């Protein structure tokens, strides 16, 4: 198996992912091979159940494939030790999810600081700067319950950028937002990624939204079809 080109940020090589439910073995990914270039914005689209989220989670170090491998900057991610995988996720990757996953007892500022707290670094000024950048400079002391859905997702975006990761993964980041708010949030995410020349991989069911990226990849029945 040849090594990926130097400008490839993340690469899936012949990845298979299966789940066992009772006596049923469900094949979710069926030999997926995909390269994502550094600085590229790539959208994964396809029908429900096509394997989009499973592929994203596998690329992002969150779900180990049954077969195949994932390379991050040329390193085989799942061959690393658990602690090294965790370090790569914390330092090189950022995540934005449909359900926000903010800690309810923490303020917006504290939620943004969580990745740096994991690394035992308090970076209040950076968190404040990021919240200002996403338009929430005046909401730093608010709890998630005191923020709208769009505001919570902006906090999640700021949190994903806290450690200045090289790659961001977003799973249906506008899925819980109305059309107008979702469009504004996606524009913000794209702007922030482009400013920092970061790589972005997004799962979305919205074909129109996917058209704003550099490239669109369609999955059907666990395989890439274009």
Q: pLDDT digits over 92-115, tens only? A: 999 999 899 999 999 999 999 998
For 119-161, the pLDDT digits (tens) are 666 688 999 999 999 999 999 999 999 999 999 999 999 999 9
Percent of all residues in the chain with a pLDDT value above 90, rounded to a whole number: 70
Q: What burial letters (b/e) apply to 68-82, b meaning 16+ CB within 10 Å? A: bbbbbbeeebeeeee
In a domain, 109, yes or no: no
Residue numbers of the domain that contains 209: 8-103+149-224
pLDDT at 15: 97
Provide the mean pLDDT of the chain. 91
Position 135 in a domain: no
Taking the whole predicted model, whether its pTM rises above 0.85 is answered as yes
**pLDDT per position as a tens digit, 31-45:** 999 999 999 999 999
| 87 part of a folded domain | yes
Please report whether residue 143 resides in a domain.
no
What average pLDDT does range 4-28 have in this prediction? 88
Predicted local confidence at residue 146, as pLDDT: 97
Q: Residue 203's pLDDT band (boundaries 50, 70, 90)?
A: very high
Residue 69 · residue 2 · CB < 8 Å: no
> What is the domain count for the chain?
1
Residue 84 covered by a domain:
yes
User: Which pLDDT value is given to residue 41?
Assistant: 95
- From CA 18, how far away is CA 179, in angstroms rounded? 34
Task: State the sign of the Cα–Cα–Cα–Cα dihedral 60, 7, 192, 209.
Answer: negative
In 3D space, the residue among 49, 71, 47 whose CA is nearest the CA of residue 59 turns out to be 71
Burial (Cβ within 10 Å: 0-12, 13-18, ≥19) of residue 187: exposed
Is the residue at 137 inside a domain? no
- pLDDT band for 3, please (50, 70, 90 cuts): low
Confirm whether 142 is domain-assigned. Answer: no
pLDDT class of 210 with cuts at 50, 70, 90? confident
Report yes or no on 46 lying in a domain.
yes
CATH code of 40's domain: 3.40.50.300
Average pLDDT over residues 182-198: 90
Cite the DSSP H helix spans in the chain: 52-59, 82-92, 108-118, 124-133, 149-160, 179-196, 207-210
Kindly report the backbone phi and psi dihedral angles of residue 88, in degrees, each rounded to the nearest multiple of 5, phi listed first.
-65, -45
């Amino acid at each position: 198996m040849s090594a990926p080109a130097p400008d490839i940020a993340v690469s899936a090589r012949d990845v298979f992912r299966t789940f066992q439910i009772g006596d049923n073995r469900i094949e979710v990914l069926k030999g997926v091979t995909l390269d994502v270039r550094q600085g590229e914005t790539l959208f994964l689209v396809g029908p429900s159940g096509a394997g989009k989220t499973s592929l994203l989670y596998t690329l992002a170090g969150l779900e180990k494939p049954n077969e195949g491998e994932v390379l991050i900057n040329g390193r085989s991610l799942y061959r690393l030790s658990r602690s090294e995988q965790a370090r790569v996720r914390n330092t090189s990757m950022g995540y934005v999810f449909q359900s926000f996953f903010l800690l309810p007892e923490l303020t917006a500022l504290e939620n943004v600081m969580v990745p740096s707290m994991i690394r035992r670094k308090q970076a209040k000024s950076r968190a404040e700067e990021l919240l200002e950048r996403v338009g929430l400079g005046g909401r730093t002391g608010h709890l998630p319950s005191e923020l709208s859905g769009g505001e919570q997702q902006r906090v999640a975006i700021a949190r994903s950028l806290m450690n200045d990761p090289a790659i961001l993964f977003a799973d249906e980041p506008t899925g819980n937002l109305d059309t107008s708010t979702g469009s504004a949030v996606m524009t913000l995410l794209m702007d922030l990624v482009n400013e920092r020349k970061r790589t972005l991989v997004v799962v979305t069911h919205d074909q129109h939204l996917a058209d704003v990226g550099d490239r669109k990849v369609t999955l059907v029945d666990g395989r890439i079809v274009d």
